[in-house]
Amino acid sequence: MIIWMVIGMAVVTAVPRFLPALIVGFVTFPKWVDRWLNAIPYAALGALIFPGIMSVKPDAPQIGVIAGLVGIFLAWLNVHIIFVVFGAIASVFLMTL
């Protein structure tokens, strides 16, 4: 009985993941839908990063905001991603000394 439950849960989990991949190959979207779909990863990344920036130091959220701005500035200068991360970490470290 348990094996059928596990198989059922696997199918229920796999179908929503594979179905869009199969459908996208056959459907042509309008240009505005493609632009909207291309923006989703950036929106998801922002939704994951922003709460962390605001909670670096809960009693001083400006520290996280400044470190985020340092990271944005370094990324704008086309610095390698590891140095962007190190720059943001170093700015938090220096502000919390």
Q: Quick one: pLDDT band at residue 89, thresholds 50, 70, 90?
A: very high
- The rounded Cα 64 to chain-centroid distance in angstroms is 17
Asked whether residue 18 falls in the same domain as residue 59, the answer is no
Asked whether residue 56 falls in the same domain as residue 40, the answer is no
Total tally of structural domains belonging to the chain: 2
Unique residue bearing structure tokens 């962007």: 84
Write the pLDDT tens digit of every residue in 33-88: 888 888 888 888 888 888 989 998 889 999 999 999 999 999 999 999 999 999 99
Instruction: Domain of residue 92: give its range.
Output: 50-97
State the burial class of residue 86 (Cβ atoms within 10 Å of its Cβ: 0-12, 13-18, 19+).
Answer: middle
Asked whether residue 16 falls in the same domain as residue 55, the answer is no
Asked whether residue 25 falls in the same domain as residue 56, the answer is no
Residues present in the chain in total:
97
C-beta neighbour count of 47 within 10 angstroms: 9
Those residues with Cβ within 8 angstroms of residue 79's Cβ, 6 or more apart along the chain or in another chain:
87
- Over 90: is that where the pLDDT of 28 sits? no
Q: Domain ends where: 28, 49, 70?
A: 49
Asked whether residue 80 falls in the same domain as residue 45, the answer is no
pLDDT at position 23 is: 82
